[in-house]
Amino acid sequence: MTAEKSSKPTKVCPTCGTRLPENATRCLVCGTNLVTPQQPAVNKPIQGTRMPEVTLTLPAALGFLALFLAIGAGLVYFALQKNGQMVEPSPTPTITSTVTPTLTATPFTPTATNTPEPSPTPLTYKVASGDTCSSIAFAFKVSIQSIVLLNNLPATCDTLYVGQPLLIPQPTPTPTPYPTATLSPAEATEAACTKIEYTVQDNDTLSSISANYAVPIAVLKSYNGLVNDTVRAGQPIVIPLCERMGTPGPTPTFTPPPPYPAPNLLLPADGASFTLADQTVTLQWASIGTLRENEAYQVTVVDVTEGNERKLIAYVTDTKYIIPTSFRPSDSKPHIIRWWITTVRQIDTDDNGNPVWDIAGAASVQRDFSWSGVSGTPSP
């Protein structure tokens, strides 16, 4: 099918080039007035050709704009990198949450403290008629010096008056000695005993083992817990060599314990002074352990002022000794008395039935005290 060609005359709008009917007075597109007044004919100017117009849609325009920006950013990046002025982006710090620790209450453990033992409280005594410092000290079994020092009295102690309150010191209790590492006599004997272990062989009997090692059968049974004389091959037997018989016979040789340590002296203190009121003087020392039935402490007391001619030796099993009144000096001047303690052991008896002693330990240190003689007996 071919298009019909219009046979009606038309005219062209001089402004926009739209073809219009010949009798049109105004352009329907650009609105140009097509009716012109009669004018003399003039020459029309020659119009040049128009530039082609490019029409872009909005999405296309935005796309071209984004492309131009990307190209510009790339050119700037490469230019800065080439000149060494490229600035690295600073890292964005990562925020981390810090956990606050929760405080927990720690239980408090109380520390044990040592409570000191109270010292003895002095007694208060009121001076009666006829009292003197010596009689009061003798009645309460304390020294005159202790009363003088406690009451701030003169050394002569001659200012007493009836009704005067006096503080009388209590005797200081003897401290209990701390346990030492010294073995008891039985433990020391057991530790000093040398033992060997013997395995019973075929055809061995308890009597043959006893004869070979010179150890009594009763000792072998006691050390090995045997209830009879029967032993079997392969059985271990403990043989105490310290129980060997020194001479033919069933009695084993006695092994004495090692020597005892030196006793520790307690009272009186070195350099103490005893005056007219002291009828007797008590010596005290610490125990060195449990003594055997045939052991004792040897107490040696020497009056140094009169030389070795006046000497006292006594044997006791207690840890104190009271010097008798007979040993007190007979004159009025003070005498220096020296004393020490030694552990002894009875080894025999003489013809009169008296024990014969032998040294069984180290001697203690020697202490001195002064003792003044008296002319009479003070009344309490």
DSSP 140-191: HT--HHHHHHHHT--TT-----TT-EEEEPPPPPPPPPPP-SPPPHHHHHHH
Distance CA 25, CA 36 (A): 9
The pLDDT of residue 174: 55
pTM of the model as a whole: 0.34
Q: Which two tokens stand for residue 149?
A: 């020092």
The pLDDT of residue 177: 55
The pLDDT of residue 101: 55
Distance CA 235, CA 250 (A): 25
Q: Which two tokens stand for residue 141?
A: 């079994």
Fold classification of 194-243 is: Membrane-bound Lytic Murein Transglycosylase D; Chain A (3.10.350)
The pLDDT of residue 42: 47
Q: Which two tokens stand for residue 307?
A: 């030389």
The correct CATH number of 123-168 out of 2.40.30.10, 3.10.350.10, 3.50.50.60, 2.60.40.1930 is 3.10.350.10
Numbered ranges of CATH 2.60.40.10 in the chain? 265-372
Numbered ranges of CATH 3.10.350.10 in the chain? 123-168, 194-243
Cβ atoms of 330 and 288 closer than 8 Å: no
Cβ atoms of 345 and 256 closer than 8 Å: yes
Q: Which two tokens stand for residue 33?
A: 């007035």
The pLDDT of residue 1: 47
The pLDDT of residue 342: 92
Partners of 361 in the β-ladder: 260
Distance CA 145, CA 136 (A): 12
Distance CA 319, CA 340 (A): 12
Distance CA 155, CA 149 (A): 9
Q: Which helix (DSSP H) or strand (DSSP E) does residue 369 occupy?
A: strand 367-372
**Domain spanning 265-372, CATH architecture:** Sandwich (2.60)
Q: Which two tokens stand for residue 140?
A: 């309460």
- State the amino acid at position 294 in one-letter form: N
- pLDDT tens sequence for the chain (380 residues): 445 555 677 878 888 878 888 787 888 778 788 776 554 544 555 555 566 666 768 888 888 889 989 998 888 888 887 765 555 555 555 555 555 555 555 555 555 555 555 456 788 888 898 888 888 888 888 888 888 888 888 877 878 888 889 888 876 555 555 555 566 666 766 677 788 888 888 888 888 888 888 889 888 888 888 878 888 888 888 888 888 775 554 555 555 555 788 898 988 888 888 877 777 888 999 888 888 888 999 999 988 887 666 888 899 988 999 988 888 887 777 888 899 999 999 888 888 888 888 888 888 999 999 888 755 444 33
Distance CA 115, CA 105 (A): 29
Q: Which helix (DSSP H) or strand (DSSP E) does residue 58 occupy?
A: helix 58-82
The pLDDT of residue 24: 79
Tell me the HSE value of 108 on the side-chain side, using a 13 A CA sphere: 3
Cβ atoms of 338 and 313 closer than 8 Å: no
The pLDDT of residue 374: 58
Q: Which helix (DSSP H) or strand (DSSP E) does residue 359 occupy?
A: strand 355-359
Residue 350 CA, chain-centre distance (Å), reads 59
Q: Which two tokens stand for residue 290?
A: 């449990």
Distance CA 360, CA 345 (A): 6
Distance CA 218, CA 336 (A): 57
Read off the DSSP letter of residue 331. Answer: S
The pLDDT of residue 41: 47
